[in-house]
């Protein structure tokens, strides 16, 4: 545990909170008053500083820009009805960030920097945590390589930062997804399991091509055969076929989502049959055609539970089961939100109170 005095804290002289329209929060466009920053060099991290949110100076030769040593995390803080600020499962994000760091040949972040850093930062900007149940404070930790050097090798210096942003829902309405069979998000042995910035950049063209045709996002399929479903846009993907909750198993191509893990845990505890196994596109389409495809949805921190209402595969578009008939995604989604908001007993100790 880092004590408060171990952080250098430079307070903003005047808060910008009055400029924010909390009744109309977009995703990720407004930022709270403060941010955290720490530098890594000569094998160790500097004392973390919390200071007013603002631009940073970087070298045009900074290696993250050129060669992509850049990783991030996403988690959320919620306001409970009794006014407490709760951060959902920060330890899982810390562990995942260090797994991403290892894959990208970057240094590990000490637990105190990540967990206590979030605690200190969110505590300072508690007024920015929205109260509306559909909103939250999105917390974005990230790390990037800072050597001003054009040689291709792991950087020797890095910056770790945390910024926070009060957010509304990521998707405003149920989604129309297309099964992608040309482009690939991740291949075995690659970086699909890591939260590497480049994973998101390389997904933009295929997503944009679909969006130009009125489709919201893609269902990513395996790189080898494009036969099995992997993720949906920036989310893990789940389907319910004939009462069974199915999702792709964790391999090197699948992001180990915190919402994925939480959802599966709660669904199992509620007694629903859950299978983490390969699900083929053919199985999905067959189920839709024979009336057993009951639910299709994405799960992620930013998106929470995103219902899918339409599915395009090759030249066919299917209207999926009405959202009003969906049981598992709605019930477990609500339970998950209730836990995050402190409305029900957090028996698993998932929330960190700030």
Using CB under 6 A, list all residues that contact ligand COI: 74, 200, 234, 300-302
Is the CB of 62 or the CB of 302 nearer to ligand COI? 302
For the bound state, the minimum distance from the C-beta of residue 301 to ligand COI, rounded and expressed in Å, comes to 4
By DSSP bridging, strand 75-79 and strand 351-353 are: unpaired
Is the CB of 74 or the CB of 293 nearer to ligand COI? 74
Give the SS3 label for residue 108.
coil
Residue (of 259, 251, 182) closest to 221 by Cα position: 182
For the bound state, the minimum distance from the C-beta of residue 276 to ligand COI, rounded and expressed in Å, comes to 19
Token couple for 141? 């930790």
Is the CB of 89 or the CB of 293 nearer to ligand COI? 89
Phi, psi of 335 (to 5 degrees): -60, -40
For the bound state, the minimum distance from the C-beta of residue 235 to ligand COI, rounded and expressed in Å, comes to 7
CA angle 297, 236, 255 (to 5 degrees): 175
Q: Find out whether 191 and 104 touch, Cβ atoms under 8 Å.
A: yes
For the bound state, the minimum distance from the C-beta of residue 74 to ligand COI, rounded and expressed in Å, comes to 2
Is the CB of 201 or the CB of 243 nearer to ligand COI? 201
Phi, psi of 126 (to 5 degrees): -60, -30
CA angle 161, 166, 168 (to 5 degrees): 130
Is the CB of 166 or the CB of 281 nearer to ligand COI? 166
Is the CB of 186 or the CB of 302 nearer to ligand COI? 302
The residue number with the shortest CB distance to ligand COI is: 74
For the bound state, the minimum distance from the C-beta of residue 234 to ligand COI, rounded and expressed in Å, comes to 4
Token couple for 52? 């007013």
For the bound state, the minimum distance from the C-beta of residue 259 to ligand COI, rounded and expressed in Å, comes to 7
Q: Find out whether 123 and 85 touch, Cβ atoms under 8 Å.
A: yes
Residue (of 16, 42, 14) closest to 31 by Cα position: 16
């Amino acid at each position: 545990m880092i004590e408060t005095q171990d952080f250098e804290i430079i307070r903003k002289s005047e808060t910008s909170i009055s400029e924010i329209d909390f009744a109309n929060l977009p995703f990720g466009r407004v930022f709270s008053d403060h941010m955290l920053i720490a530098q890594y060099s000569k094998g160790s991290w500097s004392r973390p500083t919390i200071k007013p949110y603002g631009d940073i100076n970087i070298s045009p030769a900074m290696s993250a820009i050129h060669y992509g040593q850049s990783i991030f995390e996403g988690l959320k803080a919620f306001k409970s009805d009794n006014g407490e600020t709760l951060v959902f499962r920060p330890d899982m994000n810390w562990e995942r960030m260090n797994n991403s760091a290892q894959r990208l040949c970057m240094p590990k972040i000490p637990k105190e920097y990540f967990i206590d850093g979030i605690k200190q930062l969110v505590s300072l900007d508690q007024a920015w945590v929205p109260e509306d149940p559909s909103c939250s404070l999105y917390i974005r930790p990230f790390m990037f390589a800072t050597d001003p050097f054009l040689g291709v090798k792991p950087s020797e210096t890095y910056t770790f930062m945390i910024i926070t942003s009060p957010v509304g829902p990521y998707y405003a309405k149920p989604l129309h997804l297309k099964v992608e069979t040309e482009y690939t998000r991740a291949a075995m042995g690659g970086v699909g399991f890591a939260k590497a910035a480049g994973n998101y950049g390389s997904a933009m063209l295929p997503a944009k091509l679909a969006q130009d045709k009125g489709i919201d996002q893609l269902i990513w399929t395996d790189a080898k055969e494009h036969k099995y479903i992997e993720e949906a846009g920036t989310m893990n993907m789940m389907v319910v076929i004939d009462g069974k909750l199915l999702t792709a198993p964790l391999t090197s191509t699948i992001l180990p989502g915190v919402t994925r893990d939480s959802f599966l845990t709660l669904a199992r505890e509620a007694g629903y049959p859950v299978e983490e196994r390969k699900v083929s596109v053919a199985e999905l389409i067959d189920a839709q055609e024979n009336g057993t495809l009951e639910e299709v949805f994405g799960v992620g921190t930013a998106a929470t539970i995103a219902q899918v209402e339409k599915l395009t595969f090759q030249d066919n578009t299917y209207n999926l089961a009405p959202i009003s008939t969906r049981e598992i995604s709605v019930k477990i989604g609500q339970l998950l939100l209730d836990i995050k908001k402190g409305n029900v007993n957090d028996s698993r100790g998932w929330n960190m109170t700030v």
